[in-house]
Structure 1
Amino acid sequence: MINIIQVREYARLTTDTSATSSLDLGIISSDTFSWLASLSEQPGSGRFITFEKPDCLKLHSYVGYLQSPTGEGIEVLPKTSIFTKQDTKKSRAILCKMLYSALHLPYKEAHSATLNRMDLPIHEWIFNQFLNHLNKLVASGLRFDYLRIEEESRYIRGQLNMAVQLRQPAGRDHLFHISHDIYQPNRLENRLIKSALDYIQANCRSHVNWRLANELSHILEPITPLARPLSLMPKWGTNKTLQNYQVIKPWCALILEKMNPNFQKGKHQGISLLFPMERIFEEHVAACLNKRIAPPLQLKTQAASRYLIEAKDDISDSHKNRFMLKPDLLINHLGKPRYVMDTKWKIINSSNSQNNFDISQSDIYQMFAYGHKYLAGKGDLVLILSQCDP
């Protein structure tokens, strides 16, 4: 049985067994500690963790699931409360709902019944989503494709390769060199799905997930998994015949691209499924706004058309823009900026008025620059925060 340690954003992880564990302090083994240290140093992993002491690590604003090669798991939940006790199931449900937005899934899916029973760790929940979608896909029918086969056969089928047949040696003239098409399930999309399914079957610990994965594995047994699926994921087809494949695609990509940092190496070296909370919150807010605004209003994410400084080059006598300003969200009215919005995954303290409710002064300066450059002083600036506590 895997030992799963439950913490939240900005928690500390220590090997000190005398410490008292909580959502803000997790006690891990020395092997897991070493694995986390090596994982944080890998290129492209992001600064999700920092050293505080020789026996203590601090997590940053990343959420998700980590599992070391020894089997010890760490579930990192969003920080949704400061002064009151945090409900872990509610926090997990909030994260899953935001993931739907980040994966650009349909609105009705984000409000499905699965969000009401968040008794599974986040990685098992993702496994469960993939398996349920695959089960529906199998029920509706997998898409097959034609594959050209060249072989030596006793019977003529398809086309006879005359050039090769004429060179057939004596004693083998009863065999025919033919090429023909077979209708089979080994198309790219099915092979990517089978690769993800094999990974789930090897790594899931929920008996419900394992049972469903095992059943589906028998059904998909004729399909060959890919040894290096990551490079082929962008080649997933988008034609009309694959319309019912579009729902499972983001879950398949999530498992193949995010869950195993060493998938390309062909061996299991732990699970690393981490999401930057700031980015997920931003995409969730953008998805919510998109459902509520209508023409002539238009939402634009990550606008990048204004700069803080326009510097003059004395040599070429030309102007060069410096310090690009990129607000998270920009709402245009009839093509002109009307609202500039910035999202911050941050809990503010409504009772701390002396310290500006814990709102960062640099954030306000940043908003002022957005308003000056994008709105020319005319319009609305909105700073969207995740929560107010208490």
Structure 2
Amino acid sequence: MIQVREYARLTTDERATPSLDCAVVKRETLEWVLKLASEWKGEEPLLLSDGYHVFKLGSYIGYLQSPDGEGIEILPKTNFGQDNPQQTRKILQRMLLAALNIRPRVAGPAELMRMNVPLHEWIFRQFLSELQVLVTRGLCFDYRRVDEESRFIRGQLQIQRQQRQSPARQHLFHISHDIYSPNRLENRLLKTALNYVLATCQNSENWRLANELSHRMAEIPLQAKPQRELRFWNNSKLMQIYNDVRPWCELILEKMNPNFQQGSHKGISLLFPMEQLFEKYVEVSLRSRIRRGCQLLSQASSQYLLEHTVGNSDKPQAMFLLKPDLLLRGSNGAQTLDTKWKLIEQTSWQTDKKYNIAQSDLYQMFAYGHKYQDGKGHMMLIYPKHLSFNQSLPAFHYSNTLTVWAVPFCLDSQQLVPGSWQEYFPNLYRQELLTGAT
């Protein structure tokens, strides 16, 4: 398996030196990735040209496996990536749990978080562990109507069919009755995901557990077209014991199973946009720490950039919706927080790089500040902490009344790095949780 980081280059040139930022792949693999990129529907491109027969990955992390079996693991580009891929994997796993709205205690015992395996094998283990708990507790059964011929009358006799019965078969009865069976939609979806894991996993412990569960669920058939049937999953209280395994089942059926992918480029494409993972990771971490009585809104959408009157209409039309990642509301008003998955540098302020902060991001915060905060108060840009950005930058002032801060977020401790910004964001942390991030 090939291991790289986001934005790594892919090439078929065997003279290139493999590293976390450059992977030498088979020609068939590169052609498959190019085909996948041409049909990609994400907001960010999956692959960009970076020279002759060299292509650069976008800001996605996860796992790719071409139809011929060559696998590529894509890790986040952090200061952990070069020296300790396992540390990066652990952070990625926590981010994924946040994105799936899974509480850490639901994710299973601590040893699952320490598994030194690629992301897809870790997902398999999470699914198998939760499925094992469910099967041990007992699957939900349901009544299913069965029509059959029998020597004995059971349930309802189908009189019209019985009257047409030939003399040679008069000893058999056409009956219709209900049986209590595990053959229900949710169990069929679980069995379908399990069947895929059993056929795909390469980790010996995963295969052993999948094989054991497959035998225990042998009487349950597979579900045809599972992606389409996922929306019919029963959410009643009786099915709450399925809540822990459901997100892993959906993830496998929707993203990982090549048999359910459209088109001819069958393979595994388990990819997550890093920007969205980081945003959700920060949101979940901050939500558990904000001061009581405050509200943290995700993707607030109550303000527009401008209004425009069309034709003879007397009513202006709002245009260009403004959606900050996070909006913190408290008794002293609203404060805008926006996450950016970019590596900025606190020592490059004297150069043209200007800390590597994008000018467009500052323009965006300027609009947020005027529309959501009436042009006054303090806002925050949140970036991942790394070796070259381990403390908050001095405040940026748009005016005497509007200020934005650039603050590092520690991926390991899941906290904003303390600094002078704390004085201006009293609602962001409860007093008892104001501890330093390492």
Bucket of the pairwise TM-score, normalised by the shorter protein: over 0.9
Aligned equivalents of 1:212, 1:388: Cα separation in 2: 38
8 A Cα contact 1:349 1:358, kept in partner:
yes
Q: State the partner residue of 2:153.
A: 156
- 2:309 paired residue number: 312
Give the distance between the partners of 2:100 and 2:366, measured in 1 at CA.
31
1:267 to 1:225, Cα distance in 2 relative to 1, 3 A: farther
Using the TM superposition, give the Cα deviation of residue 380 of structure 1 relative to its aligned residue in structure 2, in angstroms.
Answer: 2.7
Q: What's the counterpart of residue 52 of structure 1?
A: 50
Q: What do you get for the CA RMSD once the two structures are aligned?
A: 2.0
- Superposed, which structure 2 residues align to 1:96-115 within 5 Å? 96-109=93-106, 112-114=109-111
CA distance in 1, matches of 2:238, 2:178: 19
Match of 2:372 in 1: 374
Is 1:10 the counterpart of 2:7? The answer is: yes
SS in 2 for 1:275: strand
Distance 1:311 1:257, change over 3 A: same
**C-alpha displacement of 1:141:** 1.1
* 1:230-379 alignment, distance < 5 Å: 230-260=227-257, 262-263=259-260, 269-333=266-330, 338-354=334-350, 355-379=353-377
Q: Is 1:135 aligned to 2:132, yes or no? A: yes
Identity %: 51
What does the per-residue CA deviation read over 1:130-179, in whole Å, with 9 as the maximum and x for residues that have no partner? 11111111111111111011112111001112232233333332221111
Equivalent position of 1:76 in the other structure: 74
Q: Deviations over 1:22-77 (max 9, x none)?
A: 10001101010111011111253662112223421100110000001111100000
Query: Are residues 111 and 186 of structure 1, via their aligned partners in 2, closer, same or farther at CA, if it must alter by over 3 Å?
Result: closer
Please name the residue that 2:215 is paired with.
Answer: 218
Q: 1:96-133, CA deviations, whole angstroms, 9 ceiling, x for partnerless residues?
A: 00000000011324695135524101111101111111
Distance 1:267 1:200, change over 3 A: farther
* Cα distance change, pair 268–131 in 1 and its aligned pair in 2 (3 A): farther
Query: Contact 1:66–1:272 at 8 Å: present in 2 too?
Result: yes
Q: 1:95 aligns with which of 83, 92, 96?
A: 92
Question: Partners in 1 of 2:261 and 2:16 — Cα distance?
Answer: 38
Aligned partner letter, 2:61: V
> Partner letter of residue 55 of structure 2?
L
How far is 1:356 from its partner? Answer: 2.5
- Residue equivalent to 1:29: 26
Q: Provide the secondary structure at the position in 2 that maps to 1:348.
A: coil
Taking the aligned partners of 1:347 and 1:387, their CA distance within structure 2 comes to 8
Paired residue type of 2:214? S
Amino acid at match of 1:366: Q
Paired letter, 1:146? Y
Amino acid at match of 2:173: F
Name the amino acid aligned to 2:116.
Answer: D
**Secondary structure of 2:344's partner?**
strand
Question: Matched residues in 2 for 1:320 and 1:74: separation?
Answer: 48
How many angstroms does 1:261 deviate by? 5.1
Structure 2: 5+ residue runs without aligned partners? 389-438
Contact persistence 1:260–1:268 (CA under 8 A): no
SS, match of residue 149 in structure 2: strand
Aligned 1:173-192 pairs, distance under 5 A: 173-192=170-189
Name the CA distance, whole Å, in 1 between partners of 2:263 and 2:146: 28
Q: What's the counterpart of residue 64 of structure 1? A: 62
Equivalent residues of 1:337, 1:374 under 8 A apart: no
Tell me the distance in 1 between the aligned counterparts of 2:76 and 2:202. 23
Cα gap change, 1:376/1:19 in structure 2, threshold over 3 Å: closer, same or farther? same
In the TM superposition, what is the alpha-carbon distance from 1:191 to its structure 2 partner?
0.5
Q: Structure 1 residues 102, 152: closer, same or farther in 2, change over 3 A?
A: same
Counterpart CA distance in 2 for 1:185 and 1:176 is 26
What residue in structure 2 maps to residue 19 of structure 1?
16
Deviations 1:229-260 (A, max 9, x none): 00011111112221111000000000000113
User: TM-score, normalised to structure 1's length?
Assistant: 0.93
| Cα distance in 2 for residues equivalent to 1:266 and 1:165 | 48
Deviation at 1:275, TM superposition (A): 0.2
What is the aligned partner in structure 2 of residue 122 from structure 1? 119
Q: Matches of 2:156 and 2:262 in 1, distance apart?
A: 40
Q: Residue 108 of structure 2 contacts residue 130 of structure 2 at CA under 8 Å; is this kept in 1?
A: no
